[in-house]
Every structure is written in C-alpha cells, then in structure tokens.
Amino acid sequence: MRLLKAIRRPLAAVTLFVVALLLTPQAARAAELVMIDREGCGYCIAWKKQIGPAYPNTDLGRFAPLRVVNIREGAPEGMTFDRPVLFTPTFILVDEGRELDRIEGYPGEDFFWGLLEKMLKEKTDFIGSS
C-alpha cells in the first residue's frame, strides 16, 4: 500500500506531462525547395541576385527552406527526383525525400513568386502568403 501511495504522485505528473504533449499543437513540417544550379548559369546568377536575398525572409521561404545543389552532384543523399534535371536553374519541391513538383528555369522575378506559391498551395498544406 505504501508503494502505491509513493508512486501515485509521480505517475500522475508523468501522465499530465504526456497529455500536455499530445494536446500541444505541433509546428507544421515544412517541405524543402532544392535549387539545382550550374557554374556560369546566367539565370541562376539572376535568381540569386533578384530572389535569393529576400527568399528566406518570406512566408514561402520559411515554409520551404532553400538548399542549393550543383547539377553535377545529382540528388542529395536520401532524396529522389522523378526525372533527371536537364536545365538550370531547376527548383524541386521535396518532402520526406521525394519530389512533389518542380519549376524548370527562371522566368524572372515577376513570375517566380506566383509559380512557387501556386506549387506550394497545390502540393503541400501551405495556405498562402500573409
């Protein structure tokens, strides 16, 4: 009987802790945007100049952080692309190591943001920019 009384309070505390963890909203897991580039690629340079500095500070960039990979390296370890990358830049939306969608080429700043947002809304639980 003493043993039961001795473990009752710690057991109650552990139970409350587990319940609190289960009821706490979890942050949405973000996808990743993989940019495939190549040395001397003019469109890659333009993207890095026009979009690159702002990207991580946007809702899109926070939802799908950027990883830059040289085309010669191929898919990063643990990732699978649906088809070979033929053009640079190519922006591949990846979740749990697999390709969800891609944007081939860089159509300019005015089009890139809209294409990326559309892709994120269609392929992930991204709800839009604020």
Going residue by residue through the chain, which has 130 residues, state the pLDDT in tens, using 9 for 90 and above: 565 565 566 555 544 443 343 343 334 455 999 999 999 999 999 999 999 999 999 999 999 999 999 999 999 999 999 999 999 999 999 999 999 999 999 999 999 999 999 999 999 999 986 6
Residue 4 CB: number of other CB atoms within 10 A?
A: 8
Alpha-carbon distances, residue 49 vs 45, 52, 108 (angstroms): 6, 6, 11
Q: How many helices (H) and strands (E) does the chain have?
A: 4, 4
Residue 128's pLDDT is what? 80
Residue 105's pLDDT is what? 98
Structural domains of the chain, with CATH: 32-123 (3.40.30.10)
SS3 60: helix
> pTM (2 decimals)?
0.76
The DSSP secondary-structure symbol of 94 reads: E
The H or E element containing residue 61 is: helix 59-63
Residue 1's pLDDT is what? 59
